Structure 1
């Protein structure tokens, strides 16, 4: 009985080695053909999760586009929207998938580029997209997946 357990444990350990050998190299899986469908699926999931937040960002962007400025209430509304977006970016499955892609393929700009394209597709004003991309808390959240403390 003891020998049987020893043989089974050796065989089960040996079976793990071929599995390790079949893990693809990042260079093989990080082609545009491999990344694109996975990134698109994650961003479509994010789109569904973040629809209310995107509506608010679109409204603020249109106000800026028409020459409006940030008043205290508008700034509070923006910060609230960014907090909600932060929740989606921090805890959402879609962004976890995007971070996995970015890490696997060693492409730190993957998420920022995908989010910029996504915001453009949603009709967010270019000035507002540039504002977000230069907003340190937003870029830190995209890069790390951890929401920084935002102090006003």
Structure 2
């Protein structure tokens, strides 16, 4: 499944977690535990989403991960999107050019993409259901 918000591939974990200046570190202040608790996932899931490019961390001088406030929401949206049929990689593409502090219009674009994908999936499922209800031999039905 291809999504159209962003086309850049996700970056490696090492690149995403590189140390940055003080201004960026100030905006990235949540720990893995903070993000996990806020988004309702295990800490290992936070690291999974980071590894796959859905969220981005900076490293402190003590090599600890710190995340922006939007990380919890990104994980929640990614989990919702998975229910619509998008993969983690699809969500990484959507979030590739997403700002660390997204505004309403940024979330609106994500919402529009998810709605489009959900509507397409529903249409595809209805077509497959109609094929199943046609009375034809299952082995002869086209997907």
TM-score, normalised via structure 1 length: 0.22
Considering only CA atoms, is the larger Rg found in Structure 1 or Structure 2? 1
Relative to its length, the structure with more strand (as a share) is 2
Q: Which has the higher helix share?
A: 1
TM-score w.r.t. the length of structure 2 is 0.23
